Amino acid sequence: MQGKFIISLDFELLWGVFDVVDYKSKKEYFRQTRDIIPQILYEFQASKVHATWATVGMLFNKDWEEWEENLPEVLPNYKKQELSAYDYAKSIKSSSTEEFCFAPNLIKQIAHSKGQELASHTYSHYYCLEEGQTAKSFDKDIEKAVAVAAKIDVELKSLVFPRNQFAPEYLEICNKHGIKNVRTNPDSWYWKDAASNSVLNKLGRTGDAYMNLGKKSYRADTIDGNRNQSLEQKASRFLRPAEGSKILRKLKINRILFEMEQAAKNNEVYHLWWHPHNFGDQPEKNMNDLRIILDHFSRLRTTYNFQSKNMAELGDLLR
């Protein structure tokens, strides 16, 4: 099998960060995030790059009224209640916050763009490793995510676990709802406990962006799963937002370009991921970084037949 270049994006808007930011101070950030998504789609189309957009199901709603109509039958009962999207929503529900919480038109634009897969980031940005949540509430969350996507004729086939809280015991639930592919974490010590934000893990994840802390690409035949189970497609690299330091920014991009080339030469999979909101600050610099990566991909496609696939397409090939 030829080398494969996979891109996945975690599309969340406010639902992904409400517990760590005050939206009132980030309004321009989220507006720029909304503006950047059509630009990313344009660059993907121009470079003939396919991608998976793992989208929080709540974004499918058009307003708070529809959000109320789409409450799942069972809600997660986190011990840390500040993680509940449902509790948070009660404190911000007004017409002035809808642009930060809902994006049906952007979702339709993604779904109608060639090579772009609309996938799931769960319905409520669900935390699978947090105390208090259960298999029952996860099942109902995914059931609702699948239902809102079906309303716009989208069949969800792939999923990314929020905050990378991968729970292998939930693969059976994903598979039951038609989700055949999930993104899992890299094989690195600082990703072994995805829910941990220890200083050591943070140092490892940050340092990994600028120096060689291990091989990132992998052979497709090492992907776990079979015809009756969701395939575990490992992430390779998180594309960090544009740094203020030109030196760090160059180091980051050069690492990515080198890793892509190694994957292309060795017929391996290289899976790059980020959040659209990572481009919300310094959008021009971030888009320039993306263009450098996509231009490099185009050269690798010509030289090594490096191929762009979204997660569903890779899963279909492996089956």
Do β-strands 181-184 and 4-11 pair in parallel, antiparallel, or remain unpaired? unpaired
Q: Where are the alpha helices (DSSP H) in 151-278?
A: 171-176, 199-207, 246-265
Cα dist from 13 to 100, 108, 142, 227, 253, whole Å: 6, 16, 19, 33, 25
pLDDT for the residue numbered 192 = 58
Instruction: Average the pLDDT over each of 40-54, 99-113, 209-223, 269-283 and give the range with the smallest value.
Output: 209-223
pLDDT for the residue numbered 225 = 63
Q: Which fold has domain 4-318?
A: TIM Barrel (3.20.20)
Instruction: Look at 253 and 208; give whichever has higher pLDDT.
Output: 253
pLDDT for the residue numbered 189 = 47
Instruction: Look at 209 and 70; give whichever has higher pLDDT.
Output: 70
Cα dist from 100 to 46, 47, 103, 319, whole Å: 28, 29, 8, 38
pLDDT at 169 over 60: yes
* Number of Cβ within a 10 Å radius of residue 89: 20
d(CA 274, CA 232): 18
Angle formed at CA 312 by CA 310 and CA 318, multiple of 5 degrees: 105
Residue count of the chain: 319
Which run of H or E residues covers position 237? Answer: strand 237-238
pTM, 2 dp: 0.94
DSSP tally for the chain: helices H, then strands E: 11, 9
Using 50, 70 and 90 to split pLDDT, how confident is the model at 212?
low
pLDDT for the residue numbered 226 = 57
pLDDT at 201 over 60: no
pLDDT for the residue numbered 1 = 83
Q: Is residue 165 within 8 Å of residue 130, measured between CB atoms?
A: yes
Q: Is residue 205 within 8 Å of residue 185, measured between CB atoms?
A: no
Beta bridge partners of 156: none
Contacts 24+ apart (CB under 8 A), 142-145: 142/173, 142/174, 142/177, 142/179, 143/72, 143/177, 144/57, 144/70, 144/72, 145/57, 145/120
Using 50, 70 and 90 to split pLDDT, how confident is the model at 211?
low
For the chain, the structural domain boundaries read 4-318
pLDDT at 252 over 90: yes
pLDDT for the residue numbered 222 = 84
Quickly list DSSP for 293-313: HHHHHHHHHHHH--EEE-HHH
Of 260, 190, 246, the C-alpha closest to 5 is 260
Average pLDDT, the chain: 92
Q: What DSSP designation does 27 have?
A: H
pLDDT at 209 over 70: no
